[in-house]
Amino acid sequence: MNVRAELEKAVGVAENIQLNDIELDPLKIKTIMINEVVPADPSQDFYGQLDADYLTTTIPLFQKSGLPVKDIQDILHMGVYITNAVKTPKSDYTIEKNSIENSLPYLEKELSLFPNVKVIMLMGDVAKKAFNMLAKKTTKKNVIPAVASKCLKR
């Protein structure tokens, strides 16, 4: 399955929305890591070029935990899919709430593509906020406490 094709078919094509153009088997994904926002240059995202900026920080984290990871394909083969909560690059230091809201239909559909997911990791406050916004649609409340993520790590 191609993630981008599935999302565009279900949600549509929108200006400035950046989606993961990656072919994978959705049944093999057990963990989803949600990063905050796509980079301004799509080639620097997780599924962009081999030496993409996002990978130069991500791969060493997996390696430091003792996993023999060399590239994004190794991460996918472990059953880990990485995506971004906000599908449009930020234009300022902060991410506007409407940027998150405009990306939610894509993120919601994207999460639904993986029926065997057991763990969702939220990598930062924007990812946490987006996930809570999705959860509120069905539960009417936040599923992640509204405190700074550094407080949750303790």
At 105-125, the pLDDT tens digits run: 999 999 999 999 999 999 999
pLDDT at 154 over 80: no
Rounded distance, CA 24 to CA 35, Å? 19
Q: How does residue 151 score in pLDDT terms, banded at 50, 70 and 90?
A: low
Rounded distance, CA 112 to CA 28, Å? 14
% of residues, the chain, pLDDT over 70 = 94
pLDDT for the residue numbered 140: 79
Helix, strand and coil in the chain, % to nearest 5: 45, 15, 45
Exposure pattern of 39-48 as b/e (b: 16+ CB <10 Å)? Answer: beebebbbbb
For 27, 105, 109, the CA distances from 19, given in Å and listed in that order, are: 19, 12, 12
Rounded distance, CA 98 to CA 77, Å? 34
Domain spans of the chain?
3-122
pTM: predicted TM-score of the whole model, two decimal places: 0.92
pLDDT at 24 over 90: yes
Two structure tokens written together for 113: 């593509």
pLDDT mean across residues, the chain: 93
Rounded distance, CA 5 to CA 3, Å? 6
Q: Other C-beta atoms within 10 Å of 58: how many?
A: 19
DSSP, residue by residue, 60-83: HHHHHTT----SHHHHHHTTEEEE
pLDDT at 52 over 90: yes
Let me know: does 124 contact 35? Beta carbons within 8 Å. yes
pLDDT digits (tens, 9 = 90+) for 127-150: 999 999 999 988 878 888 766 655
